[in-house]
């Protein structure tokens, strides 16, 4: 590591400065020709054949893009393929069956598993046979409610193999959240586990799953993975089977991959929306898989010989795209880690990088801010010289954190790709190509080749460089969501209404993020403009949060906002009015916190709960959340003249200050 001081680094890399990727990286990068932007622009949409060519197709597609029913675009229509085959069989057929596909690291430091491509294929086929024996048929949605254990990607690929879409529910979500998603998806099959480790403690996950099943309005066949063994005794109920027993019954089974149309659904992923009801984002087989393969190749520079690590959770889209489908489609070794970055010590991640000679690390700004807080001594204990590329995902990264990451983790020799994308986009949309473009700390970069992203004003006109506006995308891309499950109207309302001109056939996707653009076309994403809070890169709907709070006995009304947080980026701040006869005391405050955790999960735990006799409202009765955000952040309060009760603002601010 360089011994240059933090202050000297700041002087050398001031905000706004751009600098080139290291020559040593460019020499070996997958994409190095800067003319790729012009090539994709001139050859759009056929340029996306380059992504499709990374896959093996059973039957070739008739055309790259079918836009006759926009915005319900179709990619590679009439082409057929199977995602499981593309992630497993073809690598084995190429003689690479003995190479590592998954390197799994358990939280207990002595527990690891390596799955070669042949071993992973064998277990996927065995579990695919087991799912069929349970009654799973093509197009049945299978819900997967598991933590970061190898059986999760096994189950995903087994579902893909037999043409059954999967719906992964983040293990940290509550029983209610599980039930809501299973009911919405009409899912009659669940794969879960007895428990998992967190900071040294075995956690009971099955009880939570069973609680959720109690609220599912139809019968469910359940498979339970035994993760904890003797650490946690558990009983299997009616219609519940043990994973090991089922797989054992089908030992040595072979299951031919089911032929899927490119537009057949690969998976559902539920994400927060402004209405409080989670949205079932539908991703399809051909476009999604080709897009995550191409972005893994072009942006993350993934090669078959790499040991690549994305530290996200597979319960979120980042884990789907850049732990499972993208890396395995390219035949690399992908790392999975069960635990947290600071257990048993704050150097746990760097220990894993060192032990496995990790070549790429793709993590979240919230983690990098925690690493900064802990100090540079922890990464300095380990040899991180295997790293070739660093990446960030989930939220914008500030220049100071970017520079710390670049210096103390990458030793100023690794390019940093700051990637913007969403559950709905399927894969990366805005970032630098690490073998082509200069990097600017704090700015994600230009749109990827073939992606047409712009920053516009409220009228849809391009803003001047340096001015804030709204991020839009005015051309489709292969990884895009196709619709919201069983809700085409909401799909259009949520994503296409704001800036599209339906009569003119001009469809513009609005991701509801603010942004600015500079003279070089680099885009800096400024954050959400809708009622969604981004906590550690995880999107939480304010209405869902507020509904959970109002569901607590003693709370009459609630408003939730996001406030700045050094580690999480944003944290949840809850403001509540009590019912008559109830005191806004510590007991009620704790019940509010418990209510949120029960309804959504620990990730949504409020940073603070403030009780007030009133909330600031306009004369029409609308809660002024902007002022509540100012209070949470300790900012100067904006204009209160439009309020019908301006005096309440100072009262709330005083209570926050006292707390």
Digit-coded pLDDT (tens) for 177-225 = 999 999 999 999 999 999 999 989 999 999 999 999 999 999 999 999 9
The fourth-level CATH superfamily of domain 532-658 is ANL, C-terminal domain (3.30.300.30)
Q: How many Cα atoms are found within 13 Å in the side-chain-facing hemisphere of 351?
A: 16
Angle CA 24–30–35, to nearest 5: 100
β-strand partners of 114: 103
- Tokens representing 103 are 């390197």
Select from 604, 615, 623 the least CA-distant residue to 649.
615
Residue 297 has pLDDT above 90, yes or no: yes
Residue-level pLDDT at 22: 93
Q: Are 99 and 536 in contact (CB under 8 A)?
A: no
Residue 89 has pLDDT above 50, yes or no: yes
Q: DSSP assignment, residue 331?
A: T
Sign, Cα dihedral of 272, 275, 276, 282? negative
Mean pLDDT of 229-233: 90
Burial label, 294 (beta-carbon count in 10 A; 0-12, 13-18, 19+): buried
Question: How far is residue 314's CA from residue 146's CA, in Å, rounded to a whole number?
Answer: 9
- Tokens representing 480 are 């895009």
**For residue 248, what are the CA distances in angstroms to 135, 195, 196, 233, 252?**
17, 21, 22, 21, 9
Mean pLDDT of 561-572: 86
Residue-level pLDDT at 18: 84
Residue-level pLDDT at 658: 66
Q: Which of 242-256, 422-436, 453-467 has the lowest mean pLDDT?
A: 453-467
Q: Which of 133-137, 319-323, 468-472 has the lowest mean pLDDT?
A: 468-472
Mean pLDDT of 349-378: 93
Residue-level pLDDT at 169: 96
Mean pLDDT of 1-14: 34
CATH entry 2.60.40.10 includes domain 74-409: no
What would the pLDDT profile of 142-161 be if each residue is shown by its tens digit? 999 999 999 999 999 999 99
Residue 12 has pLDDT above 60, yes or no: no
What would the pLDDT profile of 585-636 be if each residue is shown by its tens digit? 999 999 999 999 988 888 889 999 999 888 887 554 567 777 888 888 888 7
Question: How far is residue 121's CA from residue 161's CA, in Å, rounded to a whole number?
Answer: 10
Q: Given pLDDT bands bounded at 50, 70 and 90, which one contains residue 645?
A: confident
| Torsion angle defined by CA atoms of residues 45, 50, 51 and 56, in that order, rounded to the nearest 10 degrees | 120
Select from 283, 271, 318 the least CA-distant residue to 299.
318
Residue-level pLDDT at 493: 93
Tell me which H or E stretch contains 308.
Answer: strand 307-310
Mean pLDDT of 566-585: 86
Residue-level pLDDT at 274: 54
Of residues 454 and 657, more confidence is placed in 454
Of residues 457 and 617, more confidence is placed in 457
**For residue 378, what are the CA distances in angstroms to 146, 199, 351?**
30, 18, 9
CB < 8 Å & 24+ apart, contacts of 216-220? 216/179, 216/182, 216/183, 217/183, 218/183, 218/186, 218/188, 219/188, 220/182, 220/187, 220/188, 220/189, 220/190
Q: Are 308 and 333 in contact (CB under 8 A)?
A: yes
Residue-level pLDDT at 458: 87
Residue-level pLDDT at 543: 66
Q: Which positions ≥6 away from 520 have C-beta within 8 Å?
A: 18, 446
Q: Which positions ≥6 away from 237 have C-beta within 8 Å?
A: 210, 222
Mean pLDDT of 555-584: 86
Q: What's the whole-model pTM score?
A: 0.85
- What distance, in Å, lies between the first and last C-alpha atoms of the chain? 42
Residue-level pLDDT at 77: 95
Question: How far is residue 310's CA from residue 636's CA, in Å, rounded to a whole number?
Answer: 39
CB atoms within 10 A of CB 610: 21
Q: Are 390 and 415 in contact (CB under 8 A)?
A: yes
Of residues 44 and 273, more confidence is placed in 44
Residue-level pLDDT at 615: 82
Q: Are 54 and 68 in contact (CB under 8 A)?
A: no
- Tokens representing 362 are 């793709």
Residue 520 has pLDDT above 90, yes or no: yes
Q: For all residues of the chain together, what is the average pLDDT?
A: 91
Residue-level pLDDT at 110: 87
Residue 275 has pLDDT above 60, yes or no: no
Q: Which of 43-52, 447-456, 524-533 has the lowest mean pLDDT?
A: 524-533
Write the Ramachandran bin of 412: left for phi over 0, alpha for psi from -120 to 50, otherwise beta: left
Q: Are 354 and 105 in contact (CB under 8 A)?
A: no
Q: Are 278 and 180 in contact (CB under 8 A)?
A: yes
Residue 567 has pLDDT above 90, yes or no: no
Residue-level pLDDT at 276: 61
Q: Given pLDDT bands bounded at 50, 70 and 90, which one contains residue 14?
A: very low
Return the HEC string of 161-202.
Answer: HCCCCEEECCCCCCHHHHHHHHHHHCCCEEEEECEEEECCEE
Residue 9 has pLDDT above 60, yes or no: no
Q: In this structure, are strands 513-517 and 468-473 parallel, antiparallel, or unpaired?
A: antiparallel
Rounded to 5 degrees, what are φ and ψ at 88? -135, -70
Residue 478 has pLDDT above 80, yes or no: yes
Helix (H, G, I), strand (E, B) or coil at 153: helix
CB atoms within 10 A of CB 93: 12
Q: Which positions ≥6 away from 5 have C-beta within 8 Å?
A: none
Task: Tell me what percent of the residues of the chain surpass a pLDDT of 90.
Answer: 71
The domain segmentation of the chain, as residue ranges, is 74-409, 532-658
Residue-level pLDDT at 264: 98
Q: Which positions ≥6 away from 339 have C-beta within 8 Å?
A: 105, 106, 107, 197, 198, 199, 348
Longest dimension (CA), the chain: 73
């Amino acid at each position: 590591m360089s011994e240059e001081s933090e202050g000297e680094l700041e002087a050398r890399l001031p905000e706004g400065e751009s600098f080139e990727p290291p020559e040593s990286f460019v020499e070996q990068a997958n994409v190095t020709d800067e003319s790729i932007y012009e090539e994709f622009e001139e050859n759009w949409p056929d340029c996306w054949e380059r992504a499709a060519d990374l896959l093996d197709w059973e039957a070739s597609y008739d055309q790259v893009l079918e836009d006759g029913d926009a915005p319900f675009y179709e990619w590679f229509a009439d082409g057929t393929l199977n995602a499981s085959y593309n992630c497993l069989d073809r690598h084995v057929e190429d003689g690479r069956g003995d190479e590592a596909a998954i390197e799994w690291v358990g939280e207990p430091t002595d527990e690891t598993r390596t799955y070669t491509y042949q071993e992973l294929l064998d277990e996927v086929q065995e579990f695919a046979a087991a799912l069929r024996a349970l009654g799973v048929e093509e197009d049945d949605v299978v819900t997967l409610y598991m933590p970061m254990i190898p059986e999760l990607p096994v189950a995903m690929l087994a579902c893909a193999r037999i043409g059954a879409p999967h719906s992964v529910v983040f293990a940290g979500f509550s029983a209610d959240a599980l039930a809501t998603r299973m009911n919405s998806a009409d899912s009659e099959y669940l794969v879960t586990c007895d428990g998992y480790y967190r900071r040294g403690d075995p956690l009971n996950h099955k009880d939570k799953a069973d609680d959720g099943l109690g609220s599912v309005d139809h019968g469910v066949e359940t498979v339970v993975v035994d993760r904890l063994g003797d650490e946690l005794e558990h009983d299997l109920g009616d219609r519940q089977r043990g994973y090991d027993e089922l797989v054992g019954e089908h030992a040595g089974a072979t299951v031919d991959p089911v032929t899927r149309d490119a537009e057949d659904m690969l998976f559902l992923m539920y994400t927060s929306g402004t209405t409080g009801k989670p949205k079932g984002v539908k991703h399809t087989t051909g476009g999604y898989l080709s897009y995550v393969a191409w972005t893994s190749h072009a942006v993350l520079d993934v090669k078959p010989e790499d040991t690549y690590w994305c530290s996200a959770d597979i319960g979120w889209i980042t884990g789907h795209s850049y732990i499972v489908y993208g890396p395995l489609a390219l035949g690399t070794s992908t790392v999975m880690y069960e635990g947290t970055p600071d257990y048993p010590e704050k150097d746990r991640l760097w220990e894993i990088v060192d032990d496995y000679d990790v070549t790429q690390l793709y993590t979240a700004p919230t983690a990098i801010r925690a690493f900064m807080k802990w100090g540079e001594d922890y990464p300095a204990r380990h040899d991180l010289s295997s790293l070739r590329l660093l990446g960030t995902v989930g939220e914008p990264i500030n220049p100071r954190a970017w520079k710390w990451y670049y210096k103390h983790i990458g030793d100023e020799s690794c390019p940093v790709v700051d990637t913007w994308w969403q559950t709905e986009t399927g894969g990366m949309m805005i970032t630098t190509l690490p073998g082509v473009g200069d990097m600017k700390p704090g700015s994600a970069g230009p749109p990827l080749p073939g992606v047409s992203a712009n920053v516009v004003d409220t009228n849809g006109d391009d803003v001047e460089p340096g001015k804030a506006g709204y991020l839009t995308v005015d051309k489709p891309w292969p990884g895009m969501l196709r619709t919201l499950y069983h809700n085409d109207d909401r799909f259009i309302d949520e994503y296409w209404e704001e800036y599209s001109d339906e009569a003119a056939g001009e469809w513009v996707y609005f991701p509801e993020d603010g942004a600015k653009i500079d003279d070089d076309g680099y885009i800096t994403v400024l954050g959400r403009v809708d009622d969604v809070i981004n906590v550690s890169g995880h999107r939480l709907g304010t209405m869902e949060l507020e509904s959970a709070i109002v569901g607590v006995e003693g709370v009459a009304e609630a408003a939730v906002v996001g406030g700045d947080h050094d580690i999480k980026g944003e944290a949840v701040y809850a403001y509540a009015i009590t019912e008559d006869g109830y005191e806004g005391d510590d007991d009620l405050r704790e019940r509010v916190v418990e209510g949120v955790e029960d309804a959504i999960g620990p990730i949504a735990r409020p940073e603070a709960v403030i009780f007030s006799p009133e909330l600031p409202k306009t004369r029409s009765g609308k809660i002024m959340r902007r002022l509540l955000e100012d209070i949470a952040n300790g900012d100067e309060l904006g204009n209160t003249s439009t309020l019908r009760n301006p005096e309440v603002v100072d009262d709330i601010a005083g209570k926050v200050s006292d707390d």
